[in-house]
Structure 1
Amino acid sequence: MSRAALAAVATETKHTEIRKVSLPEVKSDTGILKIEIVGVCGTDVAYYENLKAPMILGHHVVGYIDEVGELASKRWGVKQGDRVVMEEYIPCGQCEMCRTGYYRLCSNTNPRENGIRYGATPIAVEPSLYGGFSQYLYLHPNAVLHKIPSHVPDVEAALALPLSNGFEWMRIVGGIGPGQVVVIQGPGQQGLACALAAKASGAETVIMTGRNSSSERLKLALELGADYTVNVSSENLVDRVSEITNGKMADLVIDVTSGGTDPVVSSLEAAKTGGTVLLGAAKYKRFNDFDLDIIYNKTLTVKGVRGHSYKSVQMAVDFIASGKFPLAMMNSHNFKLSDTDLALRTAAGETDPSRLLVTVSPWL
């Protein structure tokens, strides 16, 4: 008799239901993952609130290899029982983007181009188990995964992908190193990850910004290593950065707020001449009456950032495994599979505006 997984299937906007989904037969180049925990991401919330087709959401996945084919075992360097962190990408491995290390931009893993990706693939695509809000996950031949030690607490392991973005944007893209000043706009998952990565990369001064509604997160940023916080609801960011840096301003500013024009403008203003501004918020609108001269006059580098690389995920895994930072405090809620709707609403801020990392443990 074939085995089945219980999964929280998003069947319509803002609604999931628990269903049994058959596990596929494992072939030589595939496998099955028994999911231990999955983090809830803002992308999951976006799909949940604007669902296009029934699917199993969730892509910050940690689990144990349940079954694995012979070829897949050799390719991934894993065996049954190994604990791994999954990347969401399922790239083709052959296109120019994949060949040059930018597989996160491969069209085969872009849902907008009918690609497949963990946490964003309709259940109509067999074998359906492409999401983390489930007891088991299908390991596609092109899946990307990383081993993670067994001593790492599950809620910390679930931080691997958010932290990988921090390392990608701060260290690999931003080139942050000793003696530099970083301003991070937005104290959510991504902002806190950037603060941790910036300090781990040697930044001398990390300044986190937020609003009145983010007061608890600003406190957490200080506990995680940020040097200063700025409440932009009551303080002028540019004045405070000038005061903190004795007029030097920031080497790098990143915007990971919920989007909009104001954080972008203040980011450009807070950067030093010759500095870098990274745009990492997902919902930018068209700018009207925006003076581009500031970019020219200050010879700024302005760049959009999106996703992570294999290297940055491995950096995050090693960082977590070191146990040097109190990462467990970033987890505020953990839910069982039957409460997936509540987990998604909590991550969206509907039930607790001070929520941090929200997770789901399918076997609770």
Structure 2
Amino acid sequence: MSEKSQSAVAIGVLETEIRELELPRIAPDAGILRVEIVGVCGTDVSHYRNFSAPMILGHHVVGYVDRIGEVASQRWGIKEGDRIAMEEYIPCGQCDLCRTGYYRLCSETDPRTGIRYGATPIDVSPSLFGGFSQYMYLHPNAVVHKIPNHVPAVEAALILPVSNGFEWMSTVAGVGPGQVVVIQGPGQQGLACALAAKAAGAETVIVTGRTSSIRRLELAGRLGADYTVNVSSEDLVERVAEITGGRMADVVLDVTSGGTEPVVSSLQVAKKRGVVLLGALKKKLFQDLDLDVIYEKSLTVKGVRGHSYHSVKMAIDFVASGKFPLRVMNSHDYGLCDTDLALRTAGGQGEPNPLLVTVSPWK
């Protein structure tokens, strides 16, 4: 194994530099991953635009175990050569949240107070905490999952987004047969949630988006959504009422970025005693939000974030089944030297019509 790694380091706002970083000596409870492919997430784009410190971005990571200590091998049940998917979390493993399965909320996974894959500065030893790199450090507290070798790389890169879909649709909202689900936002997360809702047995899945996302709306239909609504030209409330015969939606999820209008319309299209899930940061104060609708409809409103160990397992089984044409979601796959273009494309500032954008470090 080479003792150095070529890594794409974000060194400024929308600025990347390829650097050669030393591979660390591996303790018995740690390891090294040879990165196969990394999905570019909206969080990566946000970090790139709001630069804070030099770091290796990328946390939807799939790769092969290149080197592993004996203790880590026994604890994780993996060996050199195994193909694994990584979770972004590096939890403490000891707090109440970790002990009850909510390690994604552990303070140690918050980059402001701890470390996390794809969001940790390179001055934190041993620097290799991001997927846009030939190799990545397997921290003793990392959360890893074995995945089958037959899964195409571009589909394996979808495991974490799909796991969010199963967590939010199945575990949190309890989506099941006969239900109507509205998903606001046809990005990577929205499409994954549409897949998860159909897999859970939802009778009707409606995906919304704007004219600027028309290609993604078309893709939603190919992936199994029953209806798509272009909110740039259609009234969402009227359209959902028409589709459902006035019944409205059992579950509504907002995963749109920036605007607050989808939150308002999500409350409007939910039926009485429905569930509204909020899965995207807005970074804005709400103006003229009618909170009484929550009371009047007796709605359940929940914030959703991340995935659980179980939902990642569900996603791996789902992706490995090959029942859905997931590879059509991949629009761009770049080599390591084009990481800057990959991030710009995923953020709508690079090549046109991005869907799932990936980086393959050895391409």
> Which secondary structure does the structure 1 equivalent of 2:193 belong to?
helix
CA contact (8 A) 2:117 2:130 kept: yes
> Which secondary structure does the structure 1 equivalent of 2:119 belong to?
coil
CA contact (8 A) 1:261 1:284 kept: no
CA contact (8 A) 1:2 1:22 kept: no
Which segment is superposed worse, 276-285 or 316-325?
276-285
Q: CA deviation at 1:22?
A: 0.5
Report the equivalent of 1:342: 341
Q: Which amino acid aligns with 1:203?
A: A
CA contact (8 A) 2:255 2:278 kept: yes
CA distance in 2, matches of 1:103, 1:81: 27
Q: Which amino acid aligns with 1:67?
A: R
**2:14 paired with 1:7:** no
Report the equivalent of 1:105: 105
CA contact (8 A) 2:68 2:80 kept: yes
Report the equivalent of 1:30: 30
Report the equivalent of 2:277: 278
CA distance in 2, matches of 1:214, 1:13: 26
Report the equivalent of 2:58: 58
CA contact (8 A) 1:208 1:229 kept: yes
Q: Which amino acid aligns with 1:132?
A: G
Q: CA deviation at 1:319?
A: 0.3
Q: CA deviation at 1:288?
A: 2.1
CA distance in 1, matches of 2:53, 2:283: 25
CA contact (8 A) 1:160 1:320 kept: yes
Q: Deviations over 1:175-226 (max 9, x none)?
A: 0000000000000000000000000000000000000001110010000000
Report the equivalent of 1:181: 180
Q: Output aligned runs, 1:55-134, within 5 Å.
A: 55-113=55-113, 115-134=114-133
> Which secondary structure does the structure 2 equivalent of 1:29 belong to?
coil
Q: 1:2 to 1:336 in 2, by over 3 A?
A: closer
> Which secondary structure does the structure 2 equivalent of 1:111 belong to?
coil
Report the equivalent of 1:143: 142
Percent identity among equivalent residues?
73
CA contact (8 A) 2:169 2:197 kept: yes
CA distance in 2, matches of 1:266, 1:292: 12
> Which secondary structure does the structure 2 equivalent of 1:198 belong to?
helix
Q: Which amino acid aligns with 1:72?
A: A
Which segment is superposed worse, 350-359 or 203-212?
350-359
CA contact (8 A) 1:213 1:353 kept: no
Q: CA deviation at 1:13?
A: 1.2
Q: Output aligned runs, 1:182-201, within 5 Å.
A: 182-201=181-200
> Which secondary structure does the structure 1 equivalent of 2:9 belong to?
strand
CA distance in 1, matches of 2:14, 2:213: 25
Q: Which amino acid aligns with 2:92?
A: C
CA contact (8 A) 2:342 2:350 kept: no
> Which secondary structure does the structure 2 equivalent of 1:32 belong to?
strand
Q: Deviations over 1:27-52 (max 9, x none)?
A: 11000000000010000011111111
Q: CA deviation at 1:356?
A: 0.4
CA distance in 2, matches of 1:353, 1:191: 19
CA distance in 2, matches of 1:170, 1:119: 25
Q: Which amino acid aligns with 2:228?
A: T
Q: Deviations over 1:283-312 (max 9, x none)?
A: 242112222110000000001101111111
Q: Which amino acid aligns with 1:121?
A: T
CA distance in 1, matches of 2:84, 2:187: 25
CA distance in 2, matches of 1:154, 1:58: 15
4+ residue runs over 6 A deviation: none
CA contact (8 A) 2:32 2:135 kept: yes
Q: 1:2 to 1:210 in 2, by over 3 A?
A: closer
Q: CA deviation at 1:354?
A: 2.2
Q: Deviations over 1:125-148 (max 9, x none)?
A: 000000000000000000001011
**2:232 paired with 1:233:** yes
**2:14 paired with 1:20:** no
Q: CA deviation at 1:158?
A: 0.2
**2:298 paired with 1:299:** yes
Structure 2 gaps of 5+ residues are none
Report the equivalent of 2:246: 247
> Which secondary structure does the structure 1 equivalent of 2:302 belong to?
strand
Q: Which amino acid aligns with 1:133?
A: F
CA contact (8 A) 1:85 1:148 kept: yes
Structure 1 gaps of 5+ residues are none
CA distance in 2, matches of 1:192, 1:352: 21
Q: CA deviation at 1:2?
A: 7.2
CA distance in 1, matches of 2:20, 2:112: 27
CA contact (8 A) 1:31 1:140 kept: yes
**2:221 paired with 1:222:** yes
Q: Which amino acid aligns with 1:101?
A: G
CA contact (8 A) 1:260 1:284 kept: no
Q: Which amino acid aligns with 2:151?
A: V
Report the equivalent of 1:289: 288
Q: Which amino acid aligns with 2:325?
A: P
Q: CA deviation at 1:353?
A: 4.7
